[in-house]
Amino acid sequence: MARHLITSAIPYINGIKHLGNLVGSQLPADLFARYQRGRGNEVLFLCATDEHGTPAELAAAKAGKPVAEYCAEMHEVQAEIARGFRLSFDHFGRSSSPQNRVLTQHFAGVLAERGLIREVSEKQMYSPTDGRYLPDRYIEGTCPNCGFESARGDQCDNCTKQLDPVDLINPHSTISGATDLEMRETKHLYLRQSAMKDELEAWIDSKTDWPVLTTSIAKKWLNDGDGLQDRGITRDLDWGVPVKKGTEDWPGMEGKVFYVWFDAPIEYIACAQEWVEAGKGSDWERWWLTDKGASDVTYTQFMGKDNVPFHTLGFPATILGSGEPWKLVDYIKSFNYLNYEGGQFSTSRGRGVFMDQALAVLPSDYWRWWLLSHAPESSDSEFTWENFQASVNKDLADVLGNFVSRVTKFCRSKFGEVVPEGGAYGEQEAALIADLSARLTRYQAAMDAIEVRKAAGELRAIWAAGNEYLQTAAPWAAYKEDPERAAAIVRLSLNLIRLYAVLSAPFIPDTSAVLKEAMKLETLDWPEDLAAALEALAPGAAFSVPENLFRKVLDEEREDWQARFSGKRD
């Protein structure tokens, strides 16, 4: 039994996320976790809310609440939405947890002892209008590299170049819009990433199986301009992990906190400690410490491309720099962006479908199927309501739903709600089993390689193969001349429903559960032997006819949703 540690990029606390955020990390991570559990492997799937930094402070102020109270409430909101999408986290933690505070301070102390943190007196952007130092992400201006007009003070989202606020052309505060920014003296800690460039580069070069998207971004940051730069890891803020060397105070750093991008990835480890503290598991060290058993673990991270630099450089620099036996990531699955109806999702303008709205419109399986089958892997992809409607109606309703309905209802009308006896499989069944066997091999290979769209395509083809078989074999016609032949066709078709329940579970878990209940199954065992799996429901086994699995999306509904989600949220 293999062991898989799986983490999703942790969503920021300030608001409900849109579908692009979902498909860029949490949803494909859940797909992989469910698949590995289905294959009988041991899985620890972790995620959390990212709660520190200025955005949390501002969102709390806007809501008129203390920041700690706001974060606690929004954590539960996000956790509930995650449950709505059936994200099967073993634990959904919080970066503001005591465990993460202790670990972050521990790493800072160890890195300092190893000479990998330096103190820097620097000038930082201060906004007299806002009465505060401005974190990098709250300064925007024109990128000096590509001319993008909404580049942030730490990075240009258009060309991904790492920036400092002073690099920006015409910078302004995103809090107030003020342009009267000035540089003031302050002292901060820097992680000496430059001292680890060769070690990081060798580690990245050893990952020959990583997606091109992941390695290209990592190497761009390694070699861009003057090469890998040291990174500030503290900020002048109130909300965050207080700066300490382990348990000791850090002279000169009073009143400062660690930068959110330093403490947030450490939460992956802390989350496992929280998992144990919550009574959900035991022995977190066997997942995270290589001298305690984690050397046998395969660790996979899922994230959008904007998070790649921090997970290929910053967090590994923290882990490697500590000199301690922490588990390093084995595979980073990164995703491009999902766009919306010819433009971008916009949280500020409410443009696009947000996770809470999606669940209010249709059940989660509809969204899971479309998002995963259109995952932005090799390039950006685009959500359109026309495409969504077509995919739901054709893939889910016409292919899978129609097959299940026709088989179970026909069997009930001719043989009752039991698997029929009689008849033998012939050439048609042999051809179908051979075809399905090849497709199952390809499906498993795609899932093992985390090729999400390819896996979805193979799953749909497996559904379609059953539909084509049913149409060709035509048990309703065979029944008139040879009831036993019809019984054999129906028996195999009912076993196909069982197969679909197993294979579809990572993509559409609620539908899989309905099929499991209809077929009276206690477990959903993976079909290691396909021929045997297609005889698992023996003659005489009872089943029930499920309600219609999927409803079609109507034209008028599509038009209404297009209008409703095109602009500002209420």
Domain assignment of residue 153, yes or no: yes
146 a known binding residue?
A: yes
pLDDT score recorded for residue 568: 55
Q: Does the pLDDT at position 35 exceed 50?
A: yes
Read off the pLDDT of each residue in 542-557 and give the average, rounded to a whole number: 96
Query: Tokens for 359?
Result: 């669940």
Residues 293 and 168 in one domain: no
Residues 207 and 187 in one domain: no
Supply the CATH number for residue 439's domain: 1.10.730.10
- Give 229 or 446, the one with higher predicted confidence: 446
Residues 112 and 123 in one domain: no
Cα-Cα-Cα-Cα torsion 384, 387, 391, 394, nearest 10 degrees, comes to 150
The SS3 assignment for 517 reads helix
Residues 492 and 521 in one domain: yes
Read off the pLDDT of each residue in 335-362 and give the average, rounded to a whole number: 90
Q: List, in order, residues 6 or more apart from 502 with CB less than 8 Å away.
A: 38, 512, 524, 525, 526, 527, 533
Q: Does the pLDDT at position 251 exceed 90?
A: yes
Domain assignment of residue 198, yes or no: yes
159 a known binding residue?
A: yes
- pLDDT, mean over the chain: 95
pLDDT score recorded for residue 15: 87
Domain assignment of residue 547, yes or no: no
Supply the CATH number for residue 73's domain: 3.40.50.620
Q: How far apart are CA 460 and CA 399, in angstroms?
A: 8
Taken in order 275, 277, 279, 283, the sign of the CA dihedral is positive
Residues 136 and 9 in one domain: no
- Give 117 or 130, the one with higher predicted confidence: 117
The SS3 assignment for 338 reads strand
Residues 103 and 182 in one domain: no
Q: Does the pLDDT at position 569 exceed 70?
A: no
Helix, strand counts (H, E) of the chain = 22, 18
Query: Helices 402-415 and 452-473 sit at what angle, rounded to 10 degrees?
Result: 30
pLDDT score recorded for residue 136: 81
Read off the pLDDT of each residue in 259-270 and give the average, rounded to a whole number: 96
Residues 69 and 215 in one domain: yes
Domain assignment of residue 354, yes or no: no
Domain assignment of residue 74, yes or no: yes
The proportion of the chain whose per-residue pLDDT surpasses 90, expressed as a percent, equals: 86
* pLDDT tens figures, 364-387: 999 999 999 999 999 999 999 999
Q: How far apart are CA 20 and CA 194, in angstroms?
A: 33
Kindly report the pTM of this predicted structure: 0.92
pLDDT classification of 351: cutoffs 50, 70, 90: confident
Of 168, 191, 214, the last residue of a domain is 191
Residues 107 and 138 in one domain: no
Q: How far apart are CA 491 and CA 519, in angstroms?
A: 12
Domain assignment of residue 2, yes or no: yes
CA 245: distance to chain centroid?
A: 33
Q: Does the pLDDT at position 289 exceed 70?
A: yes
User: Which helix H or strand E contains 118, and what residues bound it?
Assistant: strand 117-127
Residues 410 and 317 in one domain: no
Of 335, 369, 396, the last residue of a domain is 335
pLDDT classification of 225: cutoffs 50, 70, 90: low
47 a known binding residue?
A: no
Supply the CATH number for residue 175's domain: 2.170.220.10
pLDDT classification of 137: cutoffs 50, 70, 90: confident
Query: Tokens for 161?
Result: 């170049």
Domain assignment of residue 37, yes or no: yes
Q: How many domains does the chain have?
A: 3
**Of the candidates 157, 153, 126, the residue with the CA atom closest to the CA atom of residue 138:** 153
Q: Does the pLDDT at position 408 exceed 50?
A: yes
* pLDDT tens figures, 493-532: 999 999 999 999 999 999 999 999 999 999 999 999 999 9
- Give 62 or 432, the one with higher predicted confidence: 432
pLDDT classification of 345: cutoffs 50, 70, 90: confident
Residues 257 and 202 in one domain: yes
Query: Helices 315-322 and 260-277 sit at what angle, rounded to 10 degrees?
Result: 70
Residues 321 and 451 in one domain: no
Q: How far apart are CA 281 and CA 284, in angstroms?
A: 8
Domain assignment of residue 17, yes or no: yes
CA 302: distance to chain centroid?
A: 6
The residue range of the domain holding 438 is: 382-533
pLDDT classification of 570: cutoffs 50, 70, 90: very low
The SS3 assignment for 138 reads helix
71 a known binding residue?
A: no
Query: Helices 315-322 and 98-113 sit at what angle, rounded to 10 degrees?
Result: 60
- Give 54 or 306, the one with higher predicted confidence: 306
Residues 135 and 283 in one domain: no
